[in-house]
């Protein structure tokens, strides 16, 4: 049987919570990480109609991009539709987890999915790039216990390098020690020099997992005092950042590019912020969601067009005044996350033998209708 915590742990190897922007309420929103999962559903938003869809499909776990609870609940008045929705989730034992800006920042996450759709090449993050520092653990263990320790360390999150999991390196050698009178040796006798055939296991892991990895090491290692080295690896950590900047294959006019966006995002309407519809464009910045306030970062990257949602009236004026073009296809284009998340969880489902069913919400949660 698979529980929510197991599924979340695998996802957080892909997009850890600490990659989220400050104050973003990501992670468990409602429910229990220990809850058994038979069916999970991925969605952009958790709205009352989405919860009804989950109940109808006997879903145990909803995985959403947009947080359900942005602000603390002060009164749990069920006359409020939002509170009534929470009560329905609790009544039907549905756990809700959110990955918001950590998924936006993740390599091969939300903003790469959007950039893929626009077929942008030579990409880089739009906003400041961060780097997850890596540590390398070298631990010495008796040969008979090596496989058990290595598996425990990789299960705890060590050994991921890019798209590869369970990475480790092993050397064989001889360990020597003399247990003292107050020791409790697993191998050898007190006050007698001892030699043991050992393996040296090396694995890398993110700094954020330091406590978890060392705790696992001490629990699983057979020695009373495990021998190990811990090193910081410089300049080789996972890089992540918000938004993407890249190039179109061919130069287009603003009008042509806007129609290109309509076709790619499968939307009937979008807004264009420009004073010249015939201006030629090729270098594009895109940031999913509501990113109008970051247009200055697009200017610094010297892009031709900034694509993002929810651009306000006065920000639109400022964009034109600075000689930038913007295309606002709406916030809801982030619905692209649903098929991508379904594909990711289905892949992990097969790899980990979870034996769960992964659905994607079929509902359109865009609140706007254009007439």
Distances (CA, A) of 265 to 80, 215, 330, 335, 352: 33, 46, 10, 10, 33
* Token output for 346: 């289905």
The sign of the CA dihedral 264, 239, 205, 32 is: negative
Going across the sheet that includes 169-177, the strands are: 169-177, 194-206, 130-142, 227-240
332 marked as part of a ligand binding site: no
Rg (CA), the chain: 25
Is residue 334 marked as binding? yes
Largest CA distance in the chain: 87
Does the annotation place 65 within a ligand binding site?
A: yes
From the centroid of its chain, how far is CA 45? 16
Using DSSP, state whether 346 is helix, strand or coil.
helix
d(C-alpha 287, C-alpha 23), whole Å: 19
227 vs 211: CA distance, rounded Å: 16
Binding site, annotated residues for a divalent metal cation: 65-66, 104, 331, 334
Binding site, annotated residues: 65-66, 104, 331, 334
């Amino acid at each position: 049987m698979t529980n929510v915590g197991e599924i979340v742990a695998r996802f957080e190897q892909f997009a850890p919570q600490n990659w989220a922007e400050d104050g973003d309420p990501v992670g468990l929103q409602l429910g229990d990480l220990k809850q058994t999962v038979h069916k999970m559903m991925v969605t952009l938003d958790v709205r009352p109609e989405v919860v009804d869809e989950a109940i109808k499909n006997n879903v145990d776990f909803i995985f959403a991009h947009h947080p359900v609870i942005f602000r603390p609940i002060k009164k749990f008045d069920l006359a409020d539709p939002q509170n009534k929705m929470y009560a329905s989730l609790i009544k039907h034992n549905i756990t809700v987890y959110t990955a918001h800006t950590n998924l936006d920042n993740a390599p091969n996450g939300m903003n790469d999915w959007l950039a893929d759709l626009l077929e942008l090449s030579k990409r880089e993050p739009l906003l400041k790039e961060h780097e997850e520092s890596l540590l390398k653990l070298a631990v010495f263990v008796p040969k008979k216990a090596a496989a058990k320790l290595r598996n425990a360390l990789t299960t705890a999150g060590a050994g991921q390098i890019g798209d590869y999991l369970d990475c480790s390196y092993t050397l064989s050698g001889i360990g020597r020690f003399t247990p003292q009178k107050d020791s409790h040796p697993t191998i050898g006798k007190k006050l007698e020099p001892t030699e043991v055939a050992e393996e040296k296991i090396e694995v890398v892991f993110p700094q954020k997992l330091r406590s978890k990895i060392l705790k696992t090491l001490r629990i699983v290692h057979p020695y009373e005092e495990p021998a190990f080295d811990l090193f910081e690896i410089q300049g080789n950590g996972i890089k992540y950042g918000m938004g993407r900047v890249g190039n179109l294959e061919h130069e287009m006019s603003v009008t042509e590019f806007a129609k290109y966006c309509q076709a790619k995002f499968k939307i009937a309407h979008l807004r264009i912020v420009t004073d010249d519809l015939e201006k030629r464009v090729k270098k594009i910045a895109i940031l999913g969601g509501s990113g109008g306030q970051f247009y200055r970062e697009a200017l610094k990257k010297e892009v031709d067009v900034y694509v993002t949602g929810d651009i306000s009236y006065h920000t639109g004026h400022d964009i034109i005044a600075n000689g930038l073009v913007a295309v606002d296809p709406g916030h809801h284009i982030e619905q692209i996350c649903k098929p991508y998340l379904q594909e990711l969880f289905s892949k992990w489902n097969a790899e980990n033998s979870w034996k769960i069913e992964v659905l994607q919400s079929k509902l359109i949660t865009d609140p706007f209708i254009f007439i």
